[in-house]
A and B are shown apart, each in its own frame.
Chain A
Amino acid sequence: MSRDSVLRIENLGHSYGKFKVIEDISLTIGKGEMSALIGPNGAGKTTFYNAISGKFPPTKGKVFLNGEDITGLPSHRVVDKGMCRSFQITNIFTELTVAENVFSPLIIQQNKHFKLYGNVFNDQQITEKAMDTLEQVGLGGRTDQVVANLAYGDKRLVEMAIVLARDPSVVLLDEPTAGMNPEETENMINLIKKLAKNSGTTFFITEHDMKVVFSLAEKIYVLHQGHLLAQGSPEEIRANEQVQEAYLGRKVHA
């Protein structure tokens, strides 16, 4: 096991009653790595994400983050340990402004969420950090806008900012480009690339758009009917016959 692994998952499984959604998944993600999880609809990607990010505890297996066992911790504790995620359906604070959206994680990070006085806008530590984060995702100029009024792509950027605000060591992105137009998708890809390069953050994404996956990921995991079917570099995956059969089909060659 490489010493600088950030996320290590051992024999993870989750079942509802007798129905096993995911089973026996083991993988190790190294620090700063950009990896992707792919698989057809119903392969168990979202369940996998939910089980490791604390939405519900997995019924089997272990999750280690930076060497620490985080199995079954509730989501807010997982975040405290350094893993933050986005959702397939944009998950932000709709009626608040862009700035306020990013304040929330920062308040919690600085343990000020039970502070009953003082205005966040006067808190230099928080405002500066928020500004930085927003600049990073390219929303620096729109801090005062209410998020509900933003375009779809920008809303996803807000979620990205929320996820990044707490400097997580691992970022899970669930279909970051879902529902985006080509231009927005392009921007998102570039953004993720840039962030990975600048911050050294570990990204672990799921994506149905193969173009995105192959243009981003250094390592790809293929989930099929709840099992890990294959893993490897994009080239290896492309060449893997099992994967082609099960899932990729002609798409890759197209």
Chain B
Amino acid sequence: MMTQNNHNLLGPALLTILLLLAPLVIPVYWVMLLSEILIMGLMAVSLNLLLGYTGLLSFGQGAFFGLGAYTAALMLQAGYENLFLILLAGMLVALLAALVVGFFSVRLDEIFFAMITLGFGMMFFSIAHNWLDVTGGSDGLPVFNLPSLNLFGFQLTFYTPINMYYLVFVVVLIAISLLWLIVHSPFGLILKSMRENKQRVSFIGGNVKTLRIAAFAISGAFTGLAGVLFCLFNNMATPEFMHWSFSSKPIIMSIIGGTGVFLGPLFGAGIFFILEQIIIQYTENWMLFLGIILIPIVLFFPQGVFGTLRNKFFKQGSK
């Protein structure tokens, strides 16, 4: 009889509990770093909906991240302080932009897709960099107030690192759960089918273009959500978020962690940040050492660090 791949939820549950309790035991700075890992992890998991599941390498995710951040910054500047409104607006703006970019980009494949998304991303970057009146130009927008949350009469603010961490944690947990649902839904299976063989999808009646646009838009929306969180966490929105070099971060993280595993990119984000912190501790030439460490990761971990280790220890003999 047909059996689905056993989704072992023990690991994710354990991880959730660990993340929930982490602030109680680790120092404040690491709590903040963990917030950043979660935010970038969300960006990477969103990107991986394209890279790992749909087989599209987007080099323009920074644009949607930045749009989320700018939306949040501008709303806060205008006095909107409703947390949900800001989160949703950031997602929506990113979603709309991704629909437009996706509409033009998805008919291309591989490196052409990467290049056209890079081009579109850099156009957004150019706009943010030059539209002084709205985006603050190259300096970006500083953010002074944070939204608050009225929870059963309690006014919850996020000015302390711990409160901010839990805000990030909850939003990322929900977002990643939603992405998990999507990846395992019928739509998710069609995405994987497109990754394997887009011609075949079209010859079983799937409209590859609309399906890909949908995937691109969803990925963009969640990337935008990560951008909103990043803006709240750092109190800023800057054009740098839209630059291609920022877009390359989630790609690096996904590959380090493993694009074939749902949570791989999240682990990739963690590995990336921790590696960086450790290297910086010892040398100013962290770029050199990051490069030296990345090379064997690419060469010897074909499914990413997390993916390869998982396959080695848990899935032996499945193939």
What 1/0 flags go to A66-89 for Cβ under 8 Å of B? 000000001111011000110100
A161 CA to B69 CA, complexed, in Å: 47
Nearest-Cβ distance from residue B214 to partner chain A, whole angstroms? 6
Taking each of A77, A84, A105, A127, which has the highest tally of chain B beta carbons within 10 Å of its own beta carbon? A105
**Cβ A116 vs Cβ B2 within 8 A:** no
**Cβ A119 vs Cβ B202 within 8 A:** no
The answer to whether the Cβ of A104 comes within 8 Å of any Cβ in the partner chain is yes
A interface residues (Cβ-Cβ under 8 A, vs B): 53, 74-77, 79-80, 84-85, 87, 91-96, 99-100, 103-105, 107-109, 112-121, 123, 126-127, 130-131, 143-144, 146, 149, 162, 165-166
Beyond A108-B190, A109-B205, A113-B190, list 8 extra A-B contacts (CB 8 Å): A85-B203, A92-B196, A95-B196, A96-B192, A100-B193, A116-B182, A116-B185, A116-B187
Which residues of the other chain, A, contact B3 by a CB distance below 8 angstroms? 121, 144
A25 CA to B319 CA, complexed, in Å: 47
The answer to whether the Cβ of B33 comes within 8 Å of any Cβ in the partner chain is no
Which of A84, A91, A99, A149 contacts B2 (CB under 8 A)? A99
A130-B2, A143-B2 given; A105·B186 CB < 8 A? no
A116-B185, A119-B185 given; A76·B205 CB < 8 A? yes
**Cβ B206 vs Cβ A104 within 8 A:** yes
Which of B4, B196, B206 contacts A108 (CB under 8 A)? B206
Which of A95, A105, A120, A126 contacts B205 (CB under 8 A)? A105
**Cβ B189 vs Cβ A104 within 8 A:** yes
Closest A-chain residue to B208, C-beta based? Answer: A76
**Cβ B181 vs Cβ A79 within 8 A:** no
Which of B1, B187, B319 contacts A149 (CB under 8 A)? B319
- A-B residue pairs, 8 tightest by C-beta: A79-B205, A105-B204, A121-B4, A93-B196, A107-B186, A112-B186, A104-B193, A108-B205
A123 CA to B189 CA, complexed, in Å: 13
Which of A80, A103, A144 contacts B189 (CB under 8 A)? A103
Which of A53, A76, A100, A123 contacts B206 (CB under 8 A)? A76
What 1/0 flags go to B200-232 for Cβ under 8 Å of A? 111111111001001000100000000000000
Q: Does more than half of chain B's interface fall in helix, strand or loop, or is it mixed?
A: helix
Which of A74, A93, A143 contacts B197 (CB under 8 A)? A93
A85 CA to B204 CA, complexed, in Å: 8
Nearest-Cβ distance from residue A108 to partner chain B, whole angstroms? 5
**Cβ B202 vs Cβ A100 within 8 A:** no
Nearest-Cβ distance from residue B117 to partner chain A, whole angstroms? 22
**Cβ B193 vs Cβ A119 within 8 A:** no
Which residues of the other chain, A, contact B204 by a CB distance below 8 angstroms? 76, 79, 84, 104-105, 108, 162, 165-166
Taking each of B202, B204, B205, B207, which has the highest tally of chain A beta carbons within 10 Å of its own beta carbon? B204
Interface size class of B (residues with CB under 8 A): 20 to 34
Which residues of the other chain, B, contact A75 by a CB distance below 8 angstroms? 202-203
Which residues of the other chain, B, contact A109 by a CB distance below 8 angstroms? 205
Nearest-Cβ distance from residue B313 to partner chain A, whole angstroms? 19
Which residues of the other chain, A, contact B234 by a CB distance below 8 angstroms? none
Taking each of B189, B196, B197, which has the highest tally of chain A beta carbons within 10 Å of its own beta carbon? B189
A92-B197, A119-B4 given; A113·B187 CB < 8 A? yes
Which residues of the other chain, A, contact B182 by a CB distance below 8 angstroms? 116-117
A230 CA to B114 CA, complexed, in Å: 49
Which residues of the other chain, A, contact B82 by a CB distance below 8 angstroms? none
Nearest-Cβ distance from residue A50 to partner chain B, whole angstroms? 11
**Cβ A104 vs Cβ B199 within 8 A:** no
Closest B-chain residue to A79, C-beta based? Answer: B205
Nearest-Cβ distance from residue B131 to partner chain A, whole angstroms? 34
**Cβ A76 vs Cβ B187 within 8 A:** no
**Cβ A120 vs Cβ B319 within 8 A:** no
Which of A53, A96, A127 contacts B193 (CB under 8 A)? A96
**Cβ B187 vs Cβ A114 within 8 A:** yes
Nearest-Cβ distance from residue B49 to partner chain A, whole angstroms? 11
Which residues of the other chain, A, contact B206 by a CB distance below 8 angstroms? 76, 104, 108, 113
A130 CA to B214 CA, complexed, in Å: 26
A91-B200, A92-B200, A108-B205 given; A123·B193 CB < 8 A? no
A76-B207, A113-B187, A119-B184 given; A93·B2 CB < 8 A? no
Which of A104, A115, A118 contacts B201 (CB under 8 A)? A104
A146 CA to B192 CA, complexed, in Å: 13
A143 CA to B206 CA, complexed, in Å: 22
A107-B186, A119-B184 given; A94·B207 CB < 8 A? no
**Cβ B203 vs Cβ A117 within 8 A:** no
